[in-house]
Amino acid sequence: MGYFADGLLKCTSWGRTAGKITKSGVDYVTPDGIDVTIRMQPAVSGGKPMMALHSGSYNVLVAPSRLVDVLIDDGMSIALATGQGEIINTLNAPDIGLIRSLVSAPGKGMTDSDLFAVAHGGGLLAVATEPKSKIAASLRTEQMLLLPVGVFIAAFIVAVVIWLSKKRLSPLAELEIAVRNHEFIVHYQPIVELKTGICVGAEALVRWRRPDGSLVSPDLFIPLAEQSGLIKPITDQVIKAVILDLNSTLVEDRTLHIAINLCAADIKSGRILDVLEERLANTGIRTEQIWLEATERGFLDIDAARVTLAKARERGHSVAIDDFGTGYSSLQYLQRLPLDALKIDKSFIDTIGRDTATSSVTSHIIDMSEIAQPFSVAEGVETEDQADYLKAHGVDFGQGWLFSKALPADDFVAYHRRTKEKYGAAPEVIQAAAE
Ligand code: C2E
Ligand code: CA
Ligand code: CA
């Protein structure tokens, strides 16, 4: 520290001065009025170049290295410069060319090789630079540290997702997802003419194929589907599957029909007829080859049911009453609804050959079906005795395990081909008689 009087250095913290030492030239003035000499040779001590700060009659010499004497990361460099861009000092030997260009256009960012940032205050500029390669290396070490943590977190998330997906959804939610994912397929149970053994058609029976490949029986999901309205898109998927599976088989053999089960809502609204019309267009399949099965549940609104069934027959479909005999008012329907066939419920067929009270009901039901409708179909035929009895009592067709269980499409096509070779094709009259 020094004191000046009359333009000459009188004394310093090293002691009194001898000789005439004048104030050094001013390189710049700070905003608060201090004259700064960036580099001067101390005349008194004769030591390393120092920075001189003058205020009034006093000056202070500061070692320039002090100004950049801060703790910084390995590999980082800093530089201090005046507001005019003159470099005061540096630490860790930065690229001077880069520093010069940065002090003339301060900011922060990246060059091809370095990252940089410039800060200013008190008339000074501070520039920090670091080679990118250095940062990449430290990132790599951080990655090495973070990797195990990341793996652990990822494993945790995967475990939670598996746990959530295994958690059982409500049955309705599961069914909704199944509808959305088109998880329904159709099996075909052959319907044969009892007299000849000829396969005249099949009933389309829906199955829910779960993503794990297991098949769910319709008894387990049709009630919920009917209740929730999901049965409509399911029926649509059944129709789509029938066309996809059997289009060419149905076009090749005009005597063959497929029976589709209708839900109550569709019988009431008739919506299904337009769906069928649209889907059958351009397939070459005749409407006569699609039979429709309706249970008594669908006849609650009998006027609406009559309209739909009449329209269905007008378009060429045959209409069968399903599970016949199990409802309370079957007789009433026989008189009031336009029908082509009766499907006698399996529970009656089961009594054949057994000496039970219901077996007499069975013979009445059979008689009734014969009188009332062009066709009768016995459901759930399991034994030769049952088939013989039904034949003797004039029932036309049978469906049941005696002939075949419900088959995947390919197996049904093969079954149909086999029986055709063995017994011949059905006469077209089977279709024609329905009209
Ligand atoms: P359903 O319409 O009365 O169909 C006949 C059911 O009896 C079928 O069961 C069939 O596999 C079974 N069955 C046939 N022959 C025999 C036999 O000899 N012995 C025995 N024990 N059973 C036999 P599945 O396929 O389980 O269908 C059950 C019910 O699910 C159907 O009864 C029908 O009400 C409903 N369903 C099936 N597919 C559809 C569909 O596409 N739409 C609608 N709305 N309902 C369907
Ligand atoms: Ca049926
Ligand atoms: Ca049935």
Cα Rg of the chain, angstroms: 48
User: Which protein residue has the closest C-alpha to ligand 1 atom 43?
Assistant: 261
pLDDT band of residue 372 (cuts 50, 70, 90) is low
- Alpha-carbon distance of 172 to 344, in angstroms, equals 32
Which residue has a Cα nearest atom 42 of ligand 1? Answer: 261
Opening angle at CA 204, ends 198 and 205, nearest 5: 120
Candidates 63, 51, 59; CA nearest to 21 is 59
Specify the pTM: 0.66
DSSP SS3 for 13: coil
Question: Which of 303, 372, 304, 299 lies closest to 339 in space, CA to CA?
Answer: 372
**Contacts of 230 by beta carbon, 8 Å cutoff, 6+ apart:** 172, 175, 176, 179, 224
CB-ligand 1 contact for 368 (6 Å cutoff): no
Distance 171 CA to ligand 3 centre (A): 24
Centre of ligand 2 from the C-alpha of residue 282, in Å: 27
Point out which residues pair with 54 in neighbouring strands. Answer: 35, 59
Cβ 81 vs Cβ 124: under 8 Å: yes
Q: Is the Cβ atom of 238 under 6 angstroms away from ligand 1?
A: yes
Distance 203 CA to ligand 2 centre (A): 7
Higher per-residue pLDDT: 22 or 261 = 261
**Predicted confidence (pLDDT) per residue in 44-99, tens digit:** 777 888 889 999 999 999 888 888 888 888 888 999 888 778 888 888 888 888 88
Amino acid at 387: A
**Rounded Cα–Cα distance for residues 238 and 321 (Å):** 19
DSSP 8-class letter at 27: -
157 Cβ contact list (under 8 Å, min separation 6): none
Assess whether the C-beta atom of 259 lies below 6 angstroms from ligand 1: no
Residues, the chain, total?
435
Can you read off the two tokens belonging to residue 319? 């209409």
- Edge-to-edge, what's the strand order for the sheet holding 35-40? 15-16, 8-12, 2-5, 58-62, 50-55, 35-40, 28-29
Instruction: Give, in order, the Cα–Cα distances in Å from 270 to each of 230, 234, 242, 262, 316.
Output: 16, 16, 20, 10, 15
266 lines ligand 1 (CB under 6 A): no
Which comes out higher in pLDDT, residue 4 or 205? 205
Give the Å distance between the CA of 285 and the centre of ligand 2.
Answer: 21
What's the rounded Cα separation, in Å, for the pair 341 and 320? 4
Instruction: Please compute, for residue 119, the number of CA atoms within 13 A of its CA located in the half-sphere on the CB side.
Output: 6
Q: Atom 11, ligand 1: which residue's CA is nearest? A: 406
Per-residue tokens: 79 = 């530089």
pLDDT value of residue 72 = 82
189 CB less than 6 Å from ligand 1?
yes
CB contact at 8 A, 255 and 431: yes
What local confidence, expressed as pLDDT, does residue 365 receive? 85
Least confident of 339-348, 389-398, 420-429: 420-429
State the Cα–Cα distance between residues 231 and 192, nearest whole angstrom: 28
Mean pLDDT throughout 95-109? 83
Query: Looking at this protein, which amino acid is placed at residue 411?
Result: D
Closest ligand 1 atom to residue 238 Cα is 41
- In this predicted structure, what is the pLDDT of residue 338? 87
Closest by Cα among 315, 423, 326 to 365: 326
CA distance 62 to 50: 6
Q: Which two tokens stand for residue 110?
A: 């990246």
Residue 351 CA: distances (Å) to CA of 71, 362, 389, 390: 99, 7, 11, 12
CB neighbour class for 60 (10 Å; exposed up to 12, middle 13-18, buried from 19): middle
Residue whose structure tokens are 């091809």: 112
Domains of the chain: 2-62 (no CATH), 66-166 (3.40.1840.10), 171-434 (3.20.20.450)
Buried b vs exposed e over 117-147: b needs ≥16 C-beta within 10 Å? Answer: ebeeeeebbbbbbbbeeebeeeeeeeeeeee
Average pLDDT score over the chain: 89
Pair of tokens at residue 374: 């062009």
Among 4-13, 52-61, 355-364, the least confident range: 355-364
Q: Model confidence at 428, in pLDDT bands (50, 70, 90)?
A: low
Cα 131 from Cα 195, distance rounded (Å): 94
Integer Cα distance of 37 and 51 in angstroms? 6
Give the single-character DSSP code of 426: P
- Long-range pairs for 384-388: beta carbons < 8 A, 24 or more residues apart: 385/352, 385/353, 386/349, 386/352, 386/353, 387/194
Specify whether the CB–CB gap between 89 and 65 falls below 8 A.
yes
Residue 261 has pLDDT above 80, yes or no: yes
What band does 357 get if pLDDT is binned at 50, 70 and 90? low
Of all protein residues, the one whose alpha carbon is nearest to atom 21 of ligand 1 is: 380
Q: Residue 366 in contact with residue 151, Cβ under 8 Å?
A: no
Ion ligand 3: protein residues whose beta carbon lies under 5 Å: 322-323, 379
